[in-house]
Structures are given as structure tokens and as C-alpha cells.
A = this chain, B = another copy of it.
Amino acid sequence: MKLMQLYAAMKSDLQAIEDQMAQTVTSDLPILSETSLHLLKAGGKRLRPIFVLLSGKFGTYSMETLKKVAVPLELIHMATLVHDDVIDDAETRRGQLTVKSKWDNRIAMFTGDYIYAKALTVITDLDKPRIHQILSGSIVQMCIGEMEQIRDFFNVNQSVRNYMRRIRRKTALLIAISCQLGAMATEAPPRVSHALYRFGYNVGMAFQITDDLLDLCGTEKAIGKPPGSDLRQGNITLPVLYALQEDSLRDQLLTEITLIRDTEGPVNSAAAVKLVRSSSGIKTAEKMADRYIAKALKALESLPDIPAKRNLADIARFVAKRSY
């Protein structure tokens, strides 16, 4: 099944999630509804809700229950994006103005706090303390990942392992628990929720590596923001780390990165991007993403052979091939 067909097949359930998200963030304070709905309308792939719903197929599928997992997970993801945009000083995301640029930093900060808190009111409505625990533990790890990213800005000597640990926390974990909690909420057996966690974790790793590749190789139209943003803010991603290992490029690339770091005001990362593109770092990072996808598919093997299993496999394959 192609991905578009999957979205079409899941349309009514995804719409129910979308409606519930909009209802959840609507506030009696107009400004908060405006900023939150602006974010919702910007859209997104809704990867986390899709994973929750498909994982819920391995248990006793109930939209009433799954909504209480899918909505908070996607809202938490959105809250971190708003806070990220403050940090990154990002003007656009998904082709739309960010909250911090349409309003301002302090409004973006409290919008993030608010969406985050609203997400918690939804999940705490679910009478399963173990799920609350897993979620809160994961949010802690995400915050640590965000802080590691700040700490590692412009650190050209960080290891690949360092990068992997950071993206595990920053991205892979929330996708992993989307799968896990979808299964847990619908009372799927523990071995199923474990396998789905591993699946989600590996897809999440591939997803972030691909995201980092797209920031270097994508077009502004396709990725919804100007390419090279990671380098402009000092975020040294996997292809860059690999490029830095090439003797013929290393010195030139280091010079460009130092130039970006030391430039005050608007920064141009085009020369650095070009160097990385010309390196074998792109291919090596792509291979790494493929390896994670292979691991994700492997994690699915032990699961019962229901249609959702094939859908998950299709999404995993899409993640590494996507251009947006």
C-alpha cells in the first residue's frame, strides 16, 4: 500500500485526532487559541498519531482510548517545536511563519508551556499510571537531548556516538513510545509493545538522520525552510561529522564552520553546505539511515501478521526515502 493510500484509509480516525487536538488547545484566551491553532493548521506528517493508531491494532482497538494517547503525543511534539523555534531563531517551519516570528519569543514560550500542559490533561484522563510514567520519563529525556544539542553547537570534535545519543533522546524516543503506548493502551501483550518500541526507536533514528540530510540536500520548497539551517545555528549533524573525517575536505570545512560561528548578524552557510554535499558524508549517512530501517523491519518480524504490520513496514520504508 502506498503511503497516500494509507492516509486515505485512516482518514476518519486521523480526522478524529485532528479535531480532538484542536478542541484540546482551544482556550478562553483568544491569543492562546490563535497561536495554538496556527501551529495545528501548519500541519505535519502526524507520524506519532499514525504510529499510535497502527500499534493500537495489535490490542483491542478503541479510538476513545487511543485518542488519549495520540493527541498528547502529537501535542508534546508540537510544544517542543515551538520552543525549538525560539532557540533556533527560526522564521518559518513547514512553509509557515513560526509562532516566535508571527508573535514573539515570550508568546512562543508560553504557547509551548500551554500546549504541553494541555497534553498532560488529556493523558491523565487515561487511568493508566504506567503510561503517565513512561511519558513523563520520556519528556525528561527529550529535554536533556535539547540541552545536549545546545551544548554541542559548533563542537566539530564530537563523535558520531555523541550525535546518535542526542538524536535518540531528541527524536527517536517519542516515536518509540508512540508505538509502545498505542499497544499498551489497548492491552496488547508486553512482547508486542516491546517489539513496537524497538520498531519505533529505529524508525525514529532513521527519521532524524533523514531530516538532517534533507536540511543539507533538500530545496526550500520541499522542506518548508531554507536549507543549511542546521549549520547556520551550529548544529553539527551526521553528514557533516562524516565529511569532517575526509582529509581532503576537513580543513576547508572547519574554516567555513568557524566563519559561520564568528559571523555576527545574518549568516550564509552555502559554502559549508556545498562542501558537505561534495563529500561521501551524504552517502554514508544515507546508509546509516537504511541500517536503522532494516533494524526497524526486523523488529516487526515477531509480530502477528495483521494489516497494520504491513502498514508500519511501508511507513518505515517511506521514512528513509522521503524528500520532505
Contact = CB atoms under 8 A, between A and B. Distances in A.
A140 B114 contact: yes
Interface in A128-176: 129, 132-133, 135-137, 139-140, 142-144, 146-148, 150-151
Contacts of A140: 114, 117-118, 121
Contacts of A107: 147, 150
Interface in A77-128: 83, 86-87, 105-107, 109-114, 116-118, 120-121, 124-125, 127
Nearest to A86: B109
Interface residues of A, number: 41
A85 B121 CA distance: 26
A29 interface: yes
A267 interface: no
A129 B121 contact: no
A254 interface: no
Given A111-B147, A124-B136, A127-B129, 9 more contacts: A83-B113, A86-B109, A87-B106, A110-B143, A113-B146, A114-B143, A120-B120, A121-B137, A124-B132
